[in-house]
């Protein structure tokens, strides 16, 4: 990604004639405008082509490399960050419907999304296992066949159904207690060249349930817990 944008930025600056010498020197230094095998030889090529001695060529190259490094570090990644939008919708049967839609630039290498859930059982240390049956995704466009395509997109062909029911989540008690801990419902991982941004949308979550998400790097995890706010008309406790 950075290499492609680097080439584009060099060409844009040279074409604009806006103090282009440092950028041109950086292009020589990086081997983009010179076929020489060593850094010194490439700078000598720049000096010969533009009338500079070695020390001046080095100074122009250093300025150009600093400009390009600042540009790469400051805005290229944020402008081209892949995004995974996740939609959560409560269902009347206490299930939660999950749908996701992903977008990323074609020149960023992103791997297929992995969706996991905890293995069956009650062991707190039980491992994650792949979602079964494997979720199907739509096929993104092929940029080699449609050159005007910049952003690729893929989404689940069918939403996933998450079971949020947990025994005892609405138990009555005369003594206020902390809401019970619930295990994570689902984990989504999207590996690739750049960490993605996860955006979560909630719509009518199941009553009496609090949903929380945790993201770190390329991983998104959904956890549910009893909200603690239970109807007093039914004689339940109002937990803190």
Mean pLDDT of the chain: 81
Q: Which long-range contacts (CB under 8 A, 24 or more apart) does 4-12 make?
A: 4/107, 5/72, 5/76, 6/30, 6/68, 6/72, 7/32, 9/68, 9/71, 10/68
Give the whole-angstrom CA distance, residue 175 versus residue 145: 66
Identify the pLDDT of residue 173. 36
Whether this prediction's pTM lies above 0.85 is answered by no
Identify the pLDDT of residue 78. 63
Q: CA–CA distance from 188 to each of 101, 118, 238 (Å)?
A: 12, 12, 33
Q: Where are the domains of the chain?
A: 1-75, 83-165+181-226
> What tens digit of pLDDT does each residue of 70-82 get?
766 665 666 789 9
Give the whole-angstrom CA distance, residue 136 versus residue 155: 8
Identify the pLDDT of residue 154. 98
Nearest Cα to 149, choosing from 105, 112, 110, 180? 105
Identify the pLDDT of residue 171. 35
CA-CA-CA-CA dihedral for 5, 7, 12, 17, to nearest 10: 140
Identify the pLDDT of residue 39. 86
Nearest Cα to 113, choosing from 198, 182, 183? 198
Identify the pLDDT of residue 179. 46
Q: Is the pLDDT of residue 232 over 80?
A: no
What average pLDDT does range 145-169 have in this prediction?
83
Alpha carbon 49 to its chain's center? 43
Give the whole-angstrom CA distance, residue 176 versus residue 204: 27
Identify the pLDDT of residue 204. 84
* Topology (CATH) of 83-165+181-226: Immunoglobulin-like (2.60.40)
């Amino acid at each position: 990604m950075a290499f492609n944008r680097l080439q584009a930025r060099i060409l844009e600056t040279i074409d604009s004639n806006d103090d282009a010498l440092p950028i041109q020197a950086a292009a020589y230094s990086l081997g983009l405008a010179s076929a020489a095998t060593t850094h010194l030889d490439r700078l000598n090529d720049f000096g010969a082509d533009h009338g500079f001695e070695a020390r001046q060529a080095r100074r122009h190259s250093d300025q150009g490399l600093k400009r390009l490094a600042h540009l790469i570090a400051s805005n290229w990644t944020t402008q081209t960050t892949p995004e995974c939008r996740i939609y959560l919708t409560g269902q009347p049967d206490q299930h939660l419907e999950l749908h996701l839609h992903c977008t990323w630039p074609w020149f960023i290498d992103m791997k297929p999304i992995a969706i996991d859930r905890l293995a069956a059982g009650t062991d707190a240390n039980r491992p994650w296992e792949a979602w079964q049956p494997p979720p199907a995704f739509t096929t993104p466009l092929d940029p080699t066949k449609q050159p005007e395509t910049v952003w690729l997109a893929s989404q689940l062909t069918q939403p996933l159904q998450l079971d949020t029911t947990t025994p005892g989540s609405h138990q009555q008690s005369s003594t206020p207690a902390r809401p019970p801990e619930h295990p994570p419902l689902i984990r989504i991982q999207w590996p690739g060249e750049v960490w993605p941004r996860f955006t979560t949308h909630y719509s009518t979550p199941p009553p009496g349930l609090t949903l929380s998400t945790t993201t770190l790097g390329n991983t998104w995890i959904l956890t549910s817990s009893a909200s603690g706010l239970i109807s007093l008309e039914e004689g339940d406790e109002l937990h803190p």
